[in-house]
């Protein structure tokens, strides 16, 4: 069963989604629904972390200096 959900996004994001969908011959709502489903599926099999935690860990990695 499908339900209707309201979502507030900026005008710029809306335009980008519309352009993305148009180039693929899709409706914007179909694109957004697919993205939400993909993210939820990934979250079920993965352990997402915050961007702040990811950046903290990445800044602690040693620099890769090519010779």
Under a CB-based contact definition with an 8 Å cutoff, are residues 31 and 21 in contact?
yes
64 in any annotated domain: no
5 in any annotated domain: no
The C-alpha atoms of residue 6 and residue 64 are separated, in whole angstroms, by 46
49 in any annotated domain: yes
65 in any annotated domain: no
47 in any annotated domain: yes
pLDDT at 67: 54
3 in any annotated domain: no
Domain count, the chain: 1
Q: Which residues form the domain of 52?
A: 11-59
pLDDT at 41: 84
pLDDT at 65: 65
pLDDT at 46: 75
pLDDT (tens digit per residue) in 1-45: 999 999 999 999 999 999 999 999 999 999 999 999 988 888 787
User: Count of alpha carbons within 13 Å of 62, Cβ hemisphere only?
Assistant: 3
């Amino acid at each position: 069963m499908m339900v209707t959900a309201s979502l507030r996004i900026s005008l710029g994001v809306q335009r980008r989604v519309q352009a993305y969908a148009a180039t693929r011959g899709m409706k914007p709502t179909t694109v957004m629904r697919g993205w939400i489903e993909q993210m939820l599926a990934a979250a079920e099999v993965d352990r997402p972390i915050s961007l702040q935690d990811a950046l903290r860990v990445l800044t602690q990695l040693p620099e890769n200096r090519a010779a």
